[in-house]
Amino acid sequence: MSDTSVASQTGCVVVFYRPDQECVKRANRLSRLYSVIVIDNTEKTVTAESLGLTPAIHYVPNGSNLGIATALNQGIEQLLAQGMTCALLFDQDSEPSDTLLKGLPALMARTGSDRRVALIGPAYDDARLGGVAPFVRFRYFKLERVAPVGDRLIDVDFLITSGSCINLGCWHEVGPMDDSLFIDFVDLEWCVRARNKGFRILGVPWLTLSHQLGGPPVKVLGRNYPMHSAVRHYYLFRNAIALMLRPDMPLTWKTTELVKLPGRLLIYALLPASGGSHLKMAIKGIYHALTRRMGRL
């Protein structure tokens, strides 16, 4: 398939939330290559023109924070309506290289003979957390970390959303992102669902995406951990427990999360300046998971 043909069948979904001008510039850059859908979860409704978005971008202002899952679903449905066959997904702060932007759709096109590929994506590079992160596979009580090296695609258990390229041919079979999760673990749950249906998730070791996970990290025993707001910790703990209660989630992943959760609770309770509020929100999240209260807080 030619580069022109690949480009004509590829679209991008970018999720905004209170974007600055750098976010707008990144979206405009994407529109020079592909059809771009920007879903804006900012509470205040504005126009694409006032933001400075190019007219080529299809802009959807939600006027409310509907969550990452709903926003991605909205954008993907728009691309499906345009007849696209694959979608590049981005957070507003991700900095994809031209090599990644052209390489991922081309790779997806080349794997077209294997219709059981649901998602491909790069390794992400967060300099604050030690550079390029490994790919992961679920194992009992810990993750298997797979170094992003070599010239072959790597079967993995999940990829982060931003920078990934989704095969829209599998969208209706796998189903949309889980709106009830709102934000955390949305990518992981979708990848698990895809793999449960026999699809492959593939890491591309020679491509990387500059991407920041969370806010400024904290260092514990020589390791950097991404820090989030207290509200994000509500979703993190709620969704972790809620997914552990689901029978279709892998037991390997559940055991790993059970090992991690007490340490996370300690770190997020003791290290932030307002650790008490973080602990309170984490416990609230756990309680809501146990009582099946999902969606937006």
Q: Tokens representing 210?
A: 């500059």
Residue type, 285: G
Domain ranges of the chain: 3-210, 215-290
Output 121 or 271, whichever has higher pLDDT: 121
CA–CA gap between residue 297 and residue 294 (Å, rounded): 8
The CATH architecture to which 3-210 belongs is: Alpha-Beta Complex (3.90)
- 10: which 2 tokens? 């590829």
pTM of the predicted model over 0.85: yes
Q: In this predicted structure, what is the pLDDT of residue 147?
A: 95
Could you report the per-residue pLDDT of 267-276, keeping only the tens digit for each? Answer: 887 877 777 8
Q: Which amino acid is at 278?
A: H
Structure tokens at 178: 């889980």
| Residue 138 CA: distances (Å) to CA of 40, 198, 228 | 33, 16, 24
pLDDT by residue (tens digit) across 15-52? 999 999 999 999 999 999 999 999 999 999 999 999 99
Q: Using one digit for the tens of pLDDT, what is the confidence trace for 148-191?
A: 999 999 999 999 999 999 999 999 999 999 999 999 999 999 99
**β-pairing verdict for 86-91 and 10-16:** parallel
pLDDT surpasses 70 at 130: no
What pLDDT, on a 0 to 100 scale, did the predictor assign at position 103? 96
| Residue-wise pLDDT tens digits, 256-268 | 999 999 988 888 8
**Cα 131 versus chain centre, distance:** 18
